A = this chain, B = another copy of it.
Amino acid sequence: MPKKTIISMAVIKRLPKYYRYLGELLRNDVERISSKELADRIGFTASQIRQDLNNFGDFGQQGYGYNVRFLYEEIGKILGLTRTYNTVIVGAGNIGQAIANYTNFEKLGFHLKGIFDRNPKLIGISIRDIVIQDVDNLENFLKNNHIDIGIICVPKEQAQKIADIFVRCGVKGIWNFAPTDLSVPEDVIVENVHLSESLLTLSYRLNEAELFKGKTGR
């Protein structure tokens, strides 16, 4: 009977952070680390780290802690970094170009295979040796190339239309930078990056003290 393991989003969101910290420890030739010490560095509790990791396996040893390289590699596996991903970017504006130029993603195994835009001034230009194509070619391109992740960097009005094309062509992951919520079938994963929302969160927090000044308790 297969274990119906549902890992909560709270845990999932912490995994990349563990991976980042372990990667740094590894580069600094740290061989082993205890949950306590890792917790102190990251700013979590040791208990939380142990519980998070134990969702996926027993990676540590009593009296020793965790082997940094081993744990780093295990989390890499968990995050799906033992395989590669083909990606396309739709929308070669500011954000689209920025993402396209981000070579770090290549190192992690995310390979950019195509860039699309509808602006004739951009079509034909190359970014990192990839020629920007007319977005009208997108559907055809997706039919002839297996793409794992579609990156949406178009204005919000066009985002759903692009998402629909992705869904229709079997793209299972969407990284959405458009400030809108996409509707997709449940087997398609959408990860949103909503910059405005992030900025508004910051402005809220900058003013929070003011907001409640003078309010009386109940």
Whether A170 sits at the interface, judged by CB under 8 Å, is no
1/0 per residue, CB under 8 A from B, across A24-66: the answer is 0000000000000000001100000000000010000000000
Q: Are A1 and B216 in contact (CB under 8 A)?
A: yes
- Report Cα–Cα, A149/B172, bound state, in Å: 37
Q: How far is the CA of A88 from the CA of B208 in the complex (A)?
A: 22
Would A3 and B218 be within 8 Å (CB), given that A104-B196, A175-B199, A195-B102 are in contact? yes
Give the interface segment out of A5-13, A117-125, A136-144, A159-167: A5-13
Given A193-B195, A201-B191, A203-B81, the answer on whether A1 and B98 have CB atoms closer than 8 Å is no
Task: Let me know if B95 and A16 touch, CB within 8 A.
Answer: no
Identical chains bound together, number:
2
Given contacts A105-B199, A197-B17, A216-B3, whether A205 and B12 have CB atoms under 8 Å apart is yes
Interface residue count for A (Cβ, 8 Å)?
66
Tell me the smallest distance from the CB of A13 to a CB of chain B, in Å. Answer: 6
CA distance A215 to B203 in the complex (A): 45
Q: Is A73's CB within 8 Å of the partner chain B? A: no
Rounded to whole angstroms, the CA-CA distance of A101 and B150 in the bound complex is: 23
In angstroms, Cα B179 to Cα A81, docked, is 18
For residue A85, CB closer than 8 A to chain B, the reply is: yes
Taking the closest CB of chain B, its distance from the CB of A170, in whole angstroms, is: 13
A214 cross-chain contacts in B, Cβ below 8 A = 2
A108 contacts B7, C-beta separation under 8 Å: no
Contact flag A196-B108 (CB < 8 Å), given A15-B204, A202-B175: yes
Q: A181 touches which one: B43, B78, B213 (CB < 8 A)?
A: B43
Q: Is A20 an interface residue (CB 8 A)?
A: yes
* A217 and B80 contact, CB distance less than 8 A: no
A79 on the B face (CB < 8 A): yes
Given the known interface contacts A108-B196, A216-B2, the answer about A148 and B206 at a Cβ–Cβ threshold of 8 Å is yes
